[in-house]
């Protein structure tokens, strides 16, 4: 918090238009998640239906786990306007803070409607079991596919994923 | 600081009754990348998120020293189903 403490703009509460996670690298943040950081993260995960904290960007993931997470979300057709990603490699304060905020030791981390879903392992296993699709549908992130499969008249064909 | 396979195994076995345990060192020897598969009756009735949080807590010190950590958690029943499905 040292450097940001000297930034006048940060001490004012009108800083909402600043890029949310722009504060510099701070080793202190490792031990202590400030109320300010906590509420910034809370705002960020509540502002967009799907929020992914990852290494790299969707177009250029910089870790296999983050790549897998992006691919799964892409597979389910999560629309870009309903998803926001944060690159923790560009913000080492966020990289530490999000671990404390979620009480989760690894990246990526997925939030849906402000609720922590899990990391890569959970995302993949939910994808395989169909829970992820259910969740995304239930939370209104993606439209239900039911109408589509009813049309051909054979409701039991199911979807076979190759 | 590398984490040894036996450290992980001991920490897990101390925390819960384990029916089956696989620890895969995927680090090519540097001890910073592990995948574990844990089968335990202690997971019964717990969500995947709760199980993973529990294991994250049990292995907190070790995970902090690793680059990558991946886990699968099953109850004995789920593991049987998993084996049948994958065989």
Chosen CATH of A34-142 out of 3.30.70.100, 3.90.1300.10, 3.40.80.10, 3.40.30.10: 3.40.30.10
Q: Which stretches of chain A are DSSP H helices?
A: 2-5, 8-11, 35-47, 64-75, 92-102, 120-129, 131-138, 146-150
Per-residue pLDDT of chain A (162 residues; tens, 9 = 90+): 444 444 444 434 444 444 455 444 444 444 578 899 999 999 999 999 999 999 999 999 999 999 999 999 999 999 999 999 999 999 999 999 999 999 999 999 999 999 999 999 999 999 999 999 999 999 999 998 765 444 444 444 444 555
Domain count, chain B: 1
Neighboring chain A residues of B60 at a CB cutoff of 8 Å: 105
Neighboring chain B residues of A117 at a CB cutoff of 8 Å: 49
Which of A75, A59, A70 shows the shortest CA–CA distance to A120? A70
Q: Residue B66 belongs to a domain with what CATH number?
A: 3.30.300.90
- Contact assignment for A118 to B48 by CB distance below 8 Å: yes
Domain ranges of chain A: 34-142
Q: Is B48 on the interface with A (CB under 8 A)?
A: yes
B17 min Cα distance to partner chain A (Å)? 22
ipTM of this predicted complex?
A: 0.85
Q: Is A10 on the interface with B (CB under 8 A)?
A: no
Query: Structural domain of residue B76, as residue ranges?
Result: 5-86
């Amino acid at each position: 918090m040292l450097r940001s403490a000297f930034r006048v703009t940060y001490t004012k509460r009108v800083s909402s238009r600043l890029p949310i996670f722009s504060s510099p690298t701070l080793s202190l943040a490792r031990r202590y998640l400030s109320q300010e950081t906590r509420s910034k993260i809370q705002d960020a995960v509540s502002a967009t239906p799907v929020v992914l904290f990852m290494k790299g960007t969707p177009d250029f993931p910089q870790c296999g786990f983050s790549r897998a997470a992006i691919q799964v979300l892409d597979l389910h057709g999560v629309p870009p306007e309903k998803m926001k990603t944060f690159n923790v490699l560009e913000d080492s304060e966020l990289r530490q803070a999000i671990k404390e905020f979620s009480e989760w030791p690894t990246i990526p981390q997925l939030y849906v409607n402000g609720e922590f879903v899990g990391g890569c392992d959970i995302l993949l296993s939910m994808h395989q079991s169909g829970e992820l699709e259910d969740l995304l549908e239930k939370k209104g992130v993606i439209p239900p596919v039911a109408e589509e499969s009813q049309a051909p008249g054979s409701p039991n064909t199911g979807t076979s994923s190759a | 600081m590398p984490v040894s396979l036996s450290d992980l195994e001991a920490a897990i076995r101390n925390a819960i009754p384990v029916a089956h345990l696989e620890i895969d060192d995927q680090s090519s020897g540097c001890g910073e990348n592990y995948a574990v598969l844990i089968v335990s009756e202690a997971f019964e009735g717990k969500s995947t998120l709760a199980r993973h949080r529990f294991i994250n807590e049990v292995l907190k010190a070790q995970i902090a020293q690793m680059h990558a950590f991946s886990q699968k958690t099953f109850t004995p029943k789920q593991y049987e189903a998993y084996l049948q499905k994958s065989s």
